[in-house]
Amino acid sequence: MEGSTMRAPDQPSGWAIFAGVVLITLGFLNFFWGLAAILEDTNLIVGGSGVIITDLTAWGWAALIVGIVQVLIGFGLFAKSEGARFGGIFFAALAAIGQIGIVTAFPIWSIIVIALSILVIYNLSVHWDD
C-alpha cells in the first residue's frame, strides 16, 4: 500500500508513546511538587483553606517517590513493556487519587494532575495496540 506506514511488532504505538510522554511529564510534576513540599512545607500553601492531610512533608515524600516511579514507567512504555503498561495505569490512578488530599489547597493543580492521569489511563487501557 502506498502511503501506508507500518511499524514493527516490537515498536510501541503512537498512543503508547503519547501516554509515555504524558506519564513522564506527570512524573516530573509530581517529583517537583513533592520536592517543594519536603523542602518548604510551611510556605507551600499560598491559597485555599488547607490540605485534608495532616503532614505535608510525608505527602511530599509520597509524591516524590510516585513521580520517580512514573518517570521510569514512562520510559518503559517506550520499550512497549506490558509491565510498564499496567504499572502506568496503577501509578496514574494512584496520582489521581492522591490529589484528593490536597484538592482544597490546590484545586487547579489537582484538576490538572487528575486530567493528565485520566488521559494516561485511557491511552494505556484503550489504545495500547492501535
For the stretch 50-74, pLDDT in tens is: 555 566 788 889 889 999 999 999 9
Residue 98 lies in a domain: yes
pLDDT at 9 over 80: no
Does residue 85 sit within a domain?
yes
Note whether residue 82 is domain-resident: yes
Q: Indicate if the pLDDT at residue 4 is higher than 70.
A: no
**Residues of the domain holding 97:** 14-41+49-126
DSSP readout, 26-81? HHHHHHHHHHHHHH-TTTS--SSS--SSS-HHHHHHHHHHHHHHHHHHHHHHHTT-
Residue 79 lies in a domain: yes
Give domain status of residue 1, yes or no: no
Q: What is the pLDDT of residues 94-123, one digit of tens each?
A: 989 988 877 877 788 889 989 989 999 998
Q: Is 119 inside a domain boundary?
A: yes
Count of the separate structural domains present in the chain: 1
Domain assignment of residue 8, yes or no: no
pLDDT interval class at 14 (50, 70, 90): confident
- Is 2 contained in some domain? no
